[in-house]
Structure 1
Amino acid sequence: MHTIQTQHAPHDPALADRHAALHAALPTATPGQPRDEVPHPSWVPIRSLAPKHRHRILAHLLALPERDRYLRFGYPATDGQITRYVEALNFERDEVFGIYNRHIQLIALAHLAFAGDGGPGGPGAEFGGSVLPHARGRGYGARLFEHAMLHARNGHVDTLYIHALSENTVMLRIARKAGAIVQRSGSESDAYLRLPPETLASQVEQWVGEGAAAIDYQIKRQTRRVGSLIEAIGEVKSGVARPGQAARD
């Protein structure tokens, strides 16, 4: 899974008019419709992130190779530029979420930026994300996009917007599979996906998913702590045994 470019949602009036015209012509995405022929896990725990997770977000983005940084930000971002991006994340307006592995490493990350300054409830939201190289091929990019679709529609957003480099074919394919209209303009492409209105079922789906992901995260944390404790005990026992063994020798 290649990385995905993201920027703050556009505010240009001309762009807004263009978005509105496109939105009127967009077919509405059908919840639950098949989006990819590649088998994906039936469920992936996706955890909502908060300001206290900035260090994990930063570690994830800094771990991206140079090529992936280029696709993610639209330019070969330096460590300093990535640090400033993470420091500027607005968790009150936008949503940031990710997928952890059993080592509590953030292996996949997404940013759902809402248009305007009022957060959810605006006319549109922009999606962007990334997956670490060793975690690709598992459908995480598609899962993050589906998760963003759910949260956006439950936030009364009617259009999900993606701005990506045209060479980011994986992201554009995911968007097309979801029913988005993709327009290419040279080295950059825009994708627009009209979202269905929220329902009780979509609200329950989000609530259950968030609860399950929180439980999964706590289990991983406890498992890691137990593993670290067992490893520490083993090291202590090994250190105690060595002098005795030396005496016997």
Structure 2
Amino acid sequence: MEFAATNELTGAQRESLAAHALALDEQARRLRFGAQLSDEAIRAYVDSIDFDRDAVFVIFDAELRIAGAAHLVCSDDGAELGISVLAGHRGRGIGQALLARARLHARNRTIDVLFMHCLAENETMRHLARKQGMAVVVERGEATARVALEPGNLSTVAREFIANQVGLFDYALKAHVLSARRLADALSGATTMVVPGNTALAAEPVGLSGDAPTASAPKVSAAVGPGRSNGEPEAP
């Protein structure tokens, strides 16, 4: 399992979460939401999230796109968690990291029970729930996972603080590396000096109208390649 730093989203980053959910393929959408949702339904779901009440945790990839997301819906009856991971990032421990982060958050807010609901065929989520000590009950094509949470303490508060700081550092590091890579890509297509005697880039003779052409000095050729654009990074 790879190390995966988690970040907590704010309402200002709602569009990034929508982009992640819309990037889920048909099967992933059905397993995540229990039905095949349209793009409009997914946008409505993201727009309905109350960031003051709920918590959304994500893991960013190297391009600062959300690779995995966990939505923790908090209520007086407990907290319900939903997790989604993009196809290219599965099998790397992202779901497990998100579940552990959400569980820690719930404990520190005096939530005493954590739920997860999924289709019975979602073996991945059922396996993930069992690894976290959750009791899984399958009935009528659906699976419900439940675990009682111990109250938070100084240790869990400190762990959550550290997790937040690690997430911020991870995002800043990825943003720095991404900016450096984009700059390197831009410079690789920047101004190139033509070497004298290079037959592949021979200079053309230039002369006045009516006069014999005269030899010209080697030219300098500027060829700027298009820079890559992967979207402007948002602060976690």
Task: Supply the RMSD in Å over aligned alpha carbons.
Answer: 1.9
**Greater length-normalized contact order (CA 8 Å, ≥ 6 residues apart):** 1
Q: Which amino acid aligns with 1:80?
A: E
Q: Which amino acid aligns with 2:110?
A: H
Q: Which amino acid aligns with 2:42?
A: I
Equivalenced residues, count: 201
Q: How much does 1:163 deviate?
A: 1.1
Q: How much does 1:64 deviate?
A: 0.8
Aligned equivalents of 2:157, 2:18: Cα separation in 1 = 30
Q: How much does 1:246 deviate?
A: 5.3
- SS of the equivalent of 1:92 reads coil
Name the structure where helix makes up a greater proportion of residues. 1
Aligned positions of 1:1-249 closer than 5 A: 40-41=1-2, 43-115=3-75, 122-238=76-192, 245=201, 247=203
Q: How much does 1:67 deviate?
A: 0.6
Identity %: 34
Q: How much does 1:237 deviate?
A: 2.1
Aligned equivalents of 1:151, 1:94: Cα separation in 2 = 10
Q: How much does 1:236 deviate?
A: 2.4
Structure having the higher Rg: 2
Q: How much does 1:101 deviate?
A: 1.2
Q: 1:74 to 1:235 in 2, by over 3 A?
A: same
- SS of the equivalent of 2:158 reads helix
Q: Which amino acid aligns with 2:71?
A: H
Q: Which structure 1 residue ranges, 5 or more long, are not aligned? A: 1-39, 116-121
Q: Deviations over 1:31-74 (max 9, x none)?
A: xxxxxxxxx23x42101111121221111111111011011111
- SS of the equivalent of 2:190 reads helix
Q: Which moved more, 1:99-108 or 1:225-234?
A: 225-234
Q: Which structure 2 residue ranges, 5 or more long, are not aligned? A: 204-217, 220-236
